[in-house]
């Protein structure tokens, strides 16, 4: 089986091997489980250790062959970073990531030793990693580029088989689209997402994701044009009619992210919890 919990597989990389460990946390929001990546022939660097349960940490420690130097986290949602502290206690590795924002579903235990900066390059034993700020899904999200491979570890910024939820106010649709556009300017050979499989056509994937958001925005504008002022609960039924019912509460949050973007652009406004288009959009 391709995604077997606890299994370590080499999934990418020629000179810098990229190994994937699948977490013991499959589910509607995590797909087959959180992907943890071990980088380099000696696996001394790990990205996104995942949830802090004993089984996960034990399983990760089995993947560490010698010393572990660095633990990177893409962001601090509870399915990505909580095992970092436990893994650090067991190995002494340095924690690298961005501090936890004041937002929901965050891992308050994560305290980085190195506060990651946009453009920072980490020189590891036999390869280097460029840290790229990619706010949007959450404000403290970073992607990590294995420079020798042009391979990008995308966390929840780009997922395989699904699109990330954007949870306002910390999640920000404008920032998300700008972060995607920034990635398009770079040469990329593969994307290694936080959930799902390796993607070998990075630019096509990123362009599809931008087009998907644009189509959704168009649907939201169309729904508001037909309905006039409407609540989030009403708009979500119209603009997300292709989404399974149990996912609608999440869709409503991403819808709000779209509406906030339209509001900032002067294209929509909210009055008494009802959203409406500004006149020029309604025509």
DSSP H/E element including 86: helix 83-91
Ramachandran sector of residue 185 (left: φ over 0; alpha: ψ -120 to 50; beta: rest): alpha
In whole angstroms, what is the distance from residue 167 CA to residue 119 CA? Answer: 25
Least separation in angstroms between residue 149's CB and Zn ion is: 24
Between 156 and 217, name the residue whose CB sits nearer to Zn ion: 156
Least separation in angstroms between residue 66's CB and Zn ion is: 30
In whole angstroms, what is the distance from residue 51 CA to residue 57 CA? Answer: 8
- Indicate the SS3 state at residue 252: helix
Q: What are phi and psi of 90, to 5 degrees?
A: -80, -25
Tell me which residues in 125-184 interact with Zn ion (CB under 5 A). Answer: 156
Least separation in angstroms between residue 22's CB and Zn ion is: 17
In whole angstroms, what is the distance from residue 80 CA to residue 60 CA? Answer: 13
Beta bridge partners of 191: 152, 199
Question: Of 3-11, 49-57, 77-85, 126-134, which segment contacts Zn ion by CB under 5 A?
Answer: 77-85
Question: Of 54-62, 73-81, 144-152, 210-218, which segment contacts Zn ion by CB under 5 A?
Answer: 73-81
Least separation in angstroms between residue 155's CB and Zn ion is: 7
Q: Does 217 bind Zn ion (CB under 5 A)?
A: no
Between 206 and 268, name the residue whose CB sits nearer to Zn ion: 206
Between 156 and 172, name the residue whose CB sits nearer to Zn ion: 156
Neighbour order of strands in the sheet with 151-155 = 121-123, 128-133, 142-146, 151-155, 190-193
Between 107 and 156, name the residue whose CB sits nearer to Zn ion: 156
Q: What are phi and psi of 271, to 5 degrees?
A: -135, 125
Between 192 and 221, name the residue whose CB sits nearer to Zn ion: 192
Least separation in angstroms between residue 141's CB and Zn ion is: 8
Note the residues at the interface with Zn ion (CB under 5 A).
Answer: 77, 156
């Amino acid at each position: 089986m391709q995604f077997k919990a606890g299994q370590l597989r080499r999934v990418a990389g020629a000179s810098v091997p990229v190994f994937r460990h699948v977490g013991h946390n499959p589910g509607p929001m995590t797909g087959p489980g959180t992907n943890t990546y071990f980088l380099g022939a000696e696996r001394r660097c790990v990205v996104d250790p995942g949830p802090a349960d004993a089984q996960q940490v034990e399983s990760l420690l089995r993947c560490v062959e010698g010393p572990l130097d660095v633990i990177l986290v893409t962001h601090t949602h509870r399915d990505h970073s909580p095992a970092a502290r436990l893994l650090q206690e067991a190995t002494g590795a340095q924690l690298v990531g961005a501090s936890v924002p004041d937002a929901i579903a965050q891992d308050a235990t994560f305290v980085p030793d190195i506060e990651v900066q946009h453009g920072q390059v980490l020189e590891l034993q036999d390869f280097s990693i460029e840290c790229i700020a990619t706010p949007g899904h959450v404000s403290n999200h970073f992607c990590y580029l294995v420079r020798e491979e042009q391979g990008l570890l995308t966390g929840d910024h780009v997922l395989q088989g699904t699109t990330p939820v954007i949870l306002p106010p910390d999640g920000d649709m404008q920032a998300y689209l700008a972060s995607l556009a920034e990635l398009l300017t770079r040469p990329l050979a593969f994307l290694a997402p936080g959930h799902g499989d390796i993607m070998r056509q990075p630019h096509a994937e990123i362009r599809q994701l931008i087009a998907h958001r644009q189509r959704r925005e168009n649907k939201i504008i169309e729904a508001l044009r037909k309905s006039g002022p409407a609540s989030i609960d009403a708009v979500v039924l119209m603009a997300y009619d292709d989404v399974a019912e149990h996912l609608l509460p999440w869709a409503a949050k991403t819808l709000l992210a779209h509406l906030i973007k339209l509001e900032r652009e002067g294209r929509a406004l909210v009055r008494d919890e009802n959203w409406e288009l500004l006149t020029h959009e309604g025509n």
